[in-house]
Chains A and B, each alone.
Chain A
Amino acid sequence: MKFLLFVTPEIIARPLIAETVLETGALLNVDRADIKPSGGEIIIDVPRDKYDEVTAALIKRGAKIIPLEQPVIKDDEECINCGACISVCPTGVISFDEEWCVVMDVSKCIQCGLCITMCPHGALKVVKQNPR
């Protein structure tokens, strides 16, 4: 399961992730990290059974958690099922079904935004949820 970890500039230098791994023993994976002066946005992938434990450990350390339930959405009115978005996605979220309709497995999305730039019909949007 993926979630977005948001860290404010004050705590960005702390080894939050390493501490969390040591505390929970979870084999987590950093899918994408975007660190700016305004804060860090890090996409973390954790095994489903460790999700609660890992997010609790991070929240305890002052980080914010944004669940990625609907990381990217497709407007089916605008989408023409061309499939242009398929080949730019680094994590294989997008594919064709047998009927040549474009389907998405959003649980793999890391919100990189490449498909949004690619889509000629403006049908895709990355959804930023509010931190919990």
Chain B
Amino acid sequence: MTEKTIEDINTRIADGSVHVVTAEEMPDIVSQLGPEQAAKEVDIVTTGTFGAMCSSGVWLNFGHSDPPIKMQRLWLNDVEAYTGVAAVDAYIGAAQLSSTQGMKYGGAHVIEDLVSGKSIDIHAISQGTDCYPRKLLDTTLTIEDLNQAIMMNPRNAYQKYACASNSSNRTLYTYMGTLLPNCTNITYSGSGVLSPLSNDPEYRTIGMGTRIFLSGTQGYVTGEGTQHDPGDQFGTLMVQGDLKKMDKKYIRGATFNGYGTSLYVGIGIPIPILNSDLAKATAVTDADITTSILDYSVLRFNKPVLRNVTYEELKSGMIDINGHDIPTSPLSSFHDARAIATELKEWVKQGKFYPTLPVERISNTRVCKPMKQTQDMPMVIDVMPTRITTIKQDLCIEDAAKMIMDSNFSHLPVVSEDDKLVGIITAWDIARAVAKNKHDRLEDAMTKNVITADATEPIDIAACRLEQYNISAMPVIDKHRKVVGIITSDDFSKLMARRRDK
């Protein structure tokens, strides 16, 4: 049984005899030699990933101004940073949006601009105190002018990630990119065979204190990441490194259209092959890593699974869903993940990087809980007005006009003989029909493709739909398509105002 220590390996790095391979090369080696022999021959396996990691940010220290200020609110290029700590410390988060440019520019872009050495405009305000009298500060500086710029990312390097598609009939703009209607494309994230945590899923060598490649410099794992969920193979890491030493090639601000900004972070983790168990773990292939394609058209936390897939299938570029070949897009760069694993391999070979063992192990059993919600989310049925006027489809335009006048509703759901929803008619439809001199049949003037709300769906989701379709009212139907109410944008605004004021 091969048993190496980290000291054995580090001695080999020092004398130049170390054998390093990337996680892409390891599966072949293990299948040829077997895990035992592979563990003898290979000392280190390097991994890599380069993808969007929204839970990233940087602690900045500006040094004191004269007269001094306790920054209470602070903006870098119009992107607000968190200042709820001491006077001139602040945290700029990747997903914070610019107050002037919106989604085009965010914290991630500020971080990229800092790394690129660009000048950043600083604006800070304060109430002023006896010890920090200054109330306003404007200055321009570069990363060189900061005392510290320390990247501290609460959740990076997801072991693997769920893929996204969209079965609805409209385009969705998400953090998984643009999802075209009717499941026309699939997006996925993560580097599969090169994924750091997929190569050490038992957390034998990756833990608190593990030295890593972080965006072009040496950084550290500081512990488990937030939402760490190792049982379901959704483990995450918290990492730290010096932004001043990072390479702009591996720190890239990104905008996901209609969602916001995110930061592409490059992480590479060396896995010391201490024994045959680690050799076996690092022999993982794309075909061994399974994930699910979720339907993002369902606006709930739990989304239906369209099918399960392996990274091998995803990387083939086409996935079959119900007999249709759907093209896939990665959001992470496999090209750069490979570049990171290769660069780390070179660092080790050249004696520039010495791996460490963790000072504390990360839990491999922790479970990620959903949020405890103490207030039930109101459903449409709880808030909709119950008084409702409908009109039968065989009536004429004039009847509808009269009904609108009498009832004070500007939208009338049109129903069939057995009270099922077949259309909707508005005062505007009637005006148009009259103007065109086509004012007999209701059916010709009404909208047939009605956007509806479900009595038992959460109101926020129904409100979202009103906005998406830019309409002002929706009939509420039960499961037999019977109209049970109508809900308007007015109802929603009143309700939202009440909830906010509480």
Partners in one complex: yes
Interface residues of A (CB under 8 A from B): 80-88, 95-96, 99-101, 114, 117-118, 120-122
With beta carbons under 8 angstroms apart, the residue of B187, B254, B327, B328 that contacts A121 is B254
Given A87-B185, A99-B335, A101-B335, CB of A118 within 8 Å of CB of B252: no
Q: How far is the CA of A117 from the CA of B181 in the complex (A)?
A: 15
Known: A82-B51, A118-B257. 4 other contacts (CB 8 A): A85-B329, A86-B328, A87-B327, A87-B329
Number of B residues whose C-beta is below 8 Å from A? 29
A84 CB contact (under 8 Å) in B317, B329, B334: B329
- With a 10 A CB-CB cut-off, give which of B255, B256, B264, B329 has the most chain A CB atoms: B329
Task: Please tell me if the beta carbons of B334 and A118 are within 8 angstroms of each other in the complex.
Answer: no
Check B335–A84 contact: CB distance below 8 A: no
CA distance in complex: A100, B334 (Å): 7
User: How many angstroms from the CA of A81 to the CA of B328 in the assembled complex?
Assistant: 14
B338 within 8 A of A: yes
Contact of B178 among A99, A100, A118 (CB under 8 A): A118
Closest to B178 in A: A118
Interface residues of B in 246-285 (CB under 8 A from A): 252, 254-257, 262, 264
Q: Least Cβ distance of A115 to chain B in Å?
A: 9
Q: How far is the CA of A114 from the CA of B334 in the complex (A)?
A: 22
The 3 closest A-B pairs by CB, nearest first: A87-B185, A87-B329, A120-B254
Residues in B with CB closer than 8 Å to A82 are 51, 329-333
Q: Could you list 19 A-B pairs, sorted by A, with CB under 8 Å? A: A80-B333, A82-B332, A83-B334, A84-B330, A85-B329, A87-B187, A88-B180, A88-B329, A95-B317, A96-B317, A99-B335, A100-B334, A117-B257, A118-B329, A120-B177, A120-B264, A120-B331, A121-B252, A122-B255
> Within 8 Å CB of A85, what residues of B?
329
B202 at the interface (CB under 8 A from A): no
Let me know if A87 and B186 touch, CB within 8 A. Answer: yes
A80 close to B252 (CB less than 8 A): yes
Chain B residues, CB < 8 A from A95 = 317
Bound form: Cα–Cα A3–B255 in Å? 31
Contact A80 B177 (CB under 8 A): no
| A118 B177 Cβ-Cβ under 8 A | yes
Known: A83-B329, A120-B52, A120-B256. A88 touches B185 (CB 8 A): yes
B residues near A80, Cβ cutoff 8 Å: 50, 252, 264, 333, 335-336
Are A120 and B333 in contact (CB-based, < 8 A)? no
CA distance A84 to B186 in the complex (A): 10
B193 to chain A, nearest CB (A): 12
Residues of chain A contacted by B333 (CB below 8 angstroms): 80-83, 100
Q: Which residues of A contact B329 (CB under 8 A)?
A: 82-88, 118
Complexed CA–CA distance, A64 and B204 (Å): 67
A80 to B177, CA, bound (A): 15
Most central of B50, B186, B330, B335 by chain A CB within 10 Å: B335
Residues B327 and A86 in contact, CB atoms below 8 Å apart: yes
Bound CA span A120–B51, Å: 11
| Complex Cα gap A80–B331 (Å) | 10
Interface 1/0s, chain B 39-74, versus A by CB < 8 A?
000000000001110000000000000000000000
The reply to whether B327 and A81 contact each other, CB–CB distance below 8 Å, is no
Inter-chain contacts of B52 with A (CB < 8 A): 120
Beta-carbon contact of A81 and B257 below 8 Å: no
CA distance A108 to B332 in the complex (A): 25
CB distance from A114 to the nearest CB of B (A): 7
Which residue on chain B has the smallest CB distance to residue A80? B333
Expressed in whole angstroms, the Cα–Cα distance for A89 and B186 within the complex equals: 12
Q: B328 to chain A: which residues have CB within 8 Å?
A: 86-87
Contacts of B330 in A (CB 8 A): 82-84
Closest CB in chain A relative to B189 CB, distance in Å: 9
The residue of chain B having its C-beta at the shortest distance from the C-beta of A114 within the complex is: B178
Flag B172-196 by CB within 8 Å of A: 1 or 0 each.
0000011010000111000000000
Closest Cβ of chain A to B203, distance in Å, is 28
By a CB distance below 8 angstroms, the chain A residues around B326 are 87
Binary contact readout B422-449 vs A (1 if CB under 8 angstroms, 0 otherwise): 0000000000000000000000000000
- Given A83-B329, A84-B330, A120-B254, A100 contacting B180 (CB threshold 8 A): no
Q: How far is the CA of A96 from the CA of B327 in the complex (A)?
A: 12
- Bound-state CA distance A64–B83 (Å) is 58
Q: How far does the alpha carbon of A80 sit from the alpha carbon of B50 in the complex, in Å? A: 9
Q: Which of A84, A96, A99, A100 contacts B177 (CB 8 A)?
A: A84
**Chain A residues near B252 (CB-CB < 8 A):** 80, 121
